[in-house]
Every structure is written in C-alpha cells, then in structure tokens.
Amino acid sequence: MLKVIRFVKFFTMAMFIVALAILYFEVTNDSRMVILYTDIEKRPLLRIEPAYFFYFCAGFFILLNMLLSTASNLLGRYPVSSLPIPHRDFWLKDQETRQNLREVLQSWVQFLGVVLNFFLAVLMTKIWLVNRMQGGQPHEYLYFVLGLIGILLVWFAFIFYRLRIRRAEFVK
C-alpha cells in the first residue's frame, strides 16, 4: 500500500509542477502581475509580482514535501512501542504486526502529502483560470478551504479508525 501511495504522491507532485509551469508561462509571457482574485466586474482585487508568487509557491511546495517525507521516514525508524496507540497489545504482540503498524503510519503520513499536493495543484489551476478571467471572486476560495478542512478531518479521523481494527486479516 505504501508503494501505491508514494506513486500517487509523485503523480500529484507532477500535477502541481505542471499547473505552476503553465501559470508561470502564461503570466510571464504576457509580462503582467499574477491576479489572485477579482471582483464581480472582473477587476483585479489582489495582484502580486510573478517572481514573488512563483518562488513562494515553489518554496512552500518543496518545504511541505520535505517535511512530510521526513516525518514518514522518522515514523519508519521510531520505535512503535513508544507511540500512544489504541489496542497496544494487538499491535505490539510480534515483529510482523509492529512492521504492519509502521507501514500503516507511514502510509497515513504519505497520504497527507497526496491530499495537500492535490489541493495545491487544484489551487494553482484555479489561479490560472482567474488569470484567464474565468471566475475568481473571493467567495469561490471558501469552497476550497472548506473542502480542505473536510478532507483533513477525514484524514485525521481515519488513523483512529484504522488502528481500532484488530482482526488479523485486516492487518495486511
């Protein structure tokens, strides 16, 4: 499962890079500011210099993925016996279930990378559409924020659900 999640994570990373590259090409080709949102009449309400925007987005993207990869690698090396998990007696009974617990936790952190990279790619696509004068009112970004909060809540709750499953056939 961890390999599948890593593949999907790299795919969402590529989606973000492509969306950022398209936006960069289009904005710098026209020598204009990056428009983040507009009013009802399509007048820009918030603009930013292209260099600041792209360096910030690329830096945030790289830092976020480095932190998530580091967290996943640390979970792979950290002794799982010291983690506060439900049903400790089941998850720590032998080396195989400990390794499965380690993989579950690593997959959980890697999936956060998938979710956040996908969100950033969709956000870059939205900003690209705004710069093509297709939408961009401030209330449209509320849906993105609410969607991200909902997905993060489901992501956070999933680990508690997953660790409560104790039947042996669900461990692998």
Distance CA 41, CA 22 (A): 25
Q: Which helix (H) or strand (E) holds 21?
A: helix 2-30
pLDDT the model gives residue 121: 93
| Rounded distance between C-alpha atoms, residue 12 and residue 3, angstroms | 14
Structure tokens at 103: 């993989």
Query: Domain locations in the chain?
Result: 2-170
* pLDDT for the residue numbered 153: 94
pTM (two decimals):
0.84
Distance (Å, whole) CA 145 – CA 112: 16
Mean pLDDT by 10 residues, the chain (172 residues): 88 94 85 81 85 93 95 88 85 86 90 93 89 76 88 91 72 52
Measured between alpha carbons, how far is 41 from 44 in angstroms, rounded to an integer? 9
Encoded tokens for 13? 């990373």
Q: What pLDDT, on a 0 to 100 scale, did the predictor assign at position 167?
A: 63
pLDDT given for residue 170 in this prediction: 54
